Structure 1
Amino acid sequence: MELIKLKHTKTESDIQSHLIREHRALFNDESKSRLLEMIKSFFPEMRTAYIIFWLPEESEDIVTLLINNNTIASIEFDRYDTSIEPIVESKPIDRHYIKGLRRYPQLTIAVAVELANSDLMSHRN
């Protein structure tokens, strides 16, 4: 997988701060516990995850995540009715996926992969 080269710019730093803030919320805030349970249910191998994009709709949310350091997942779930099964799609991050994205999403994924790699290394030790 070939990601965009990071240059440690202000934009990348801002992206990193946002990703870290959302990552901590995902794993620690009660308001994100339902999403975390869905991730664990559909991706039992998940050791770390970063929220790449969150699109709130009228009654549902669509969340795009990086799972570990190699999978992009999209989870669409009803915000109010927990009995409605979420729609989950996933794909490996590969050259074709990255190539189809604009620059900012490419940067976001590259920063998220860097953070995930760091998380996975610290879990290994």
Structure 2
Amino acid sequence: MKLIGSKMESDFRDELTRSNDALQDSGSMLRKALEAGGHEPKNAYILHWVPEQCEGLYTVLIGGSYIVKVEVDKCDKSKPPIVERSELKSYLNGLSKMNQVRLAVAQDLACAKT
């Protein structure tokens, strides 16, 4: 998908940059989960976050090349997070246009950081 510099892209860019900044906090539960799963949070961007009462569900782009879905239990901190890796091709299936733009912006940010 080609980026055109729209307001929506700019808003996504700001949001994704903030998500990457949050992942740089060494106390972040999500960062710890990513590192425990062998994924580098330095060049990671949170595409989606679903805050449930006792867990957080995250979809994270890693290095612009693959997706990691993470489930972090907020009620029972002793329970290990569930981390599942998937390829971009399978993630793109059925993805809305807006979320395709969000992904394209995240990939652009990831490529600019390397």
TM-score greater than 0.5 by the shorter chain: yes
In the TM superposition, what whole-angstrom CA distance separates every residue of 1:57-78 from its partner, at most 9, and x where no partner exists? 0110001100111111110111
Quote the sequence identity (%): 36
Gaps spanning 5+ residues in structure 2: where?
none
Task: Indicate yes or no: 2:22 matched with 1:34.
Answer: no
Specify the code of the residue in structure 2 equivalent to 1:76.
E
State how 1:107-118 maps to structure 2 within 5 Å.
107-118=101-112
Which amino acid in structure 2 is aligned with residue 108 of structure 1? R
Deviations 1:32-88 (A, max 9, x none): x22111111112455410011110001100011001111111101111311112121
Structure 1 unmatched runs, 5+: 121-125
| Equivalent of residue 18 in structure 2, options 21, 40, 63 | 21
What is the aligned partner in structure 2 of residue 48 from structure 1? 43
TM-score (norm 1): 0.83
Query: TM-score by structure 2 length?
Result: 0.90
* One of 51, 55, 64 as aligned partner of 1:60: 55
Contact kept in structure 1, 2:33 and 2:83, CA below 8 Å? no
Correspondence 1:87 to 2:82:
yes
Answering whether residue 95 of structure 2 is matched by residue 98 of structure 1, we say no
Q: What is the root-mean-square deviation in Å for CA atoms of aligned residues? A: 1.7
Give the stretch that moved more between structures: 9-18 or 97-106.
97-106
Moved over 2 A (4+): 43-47
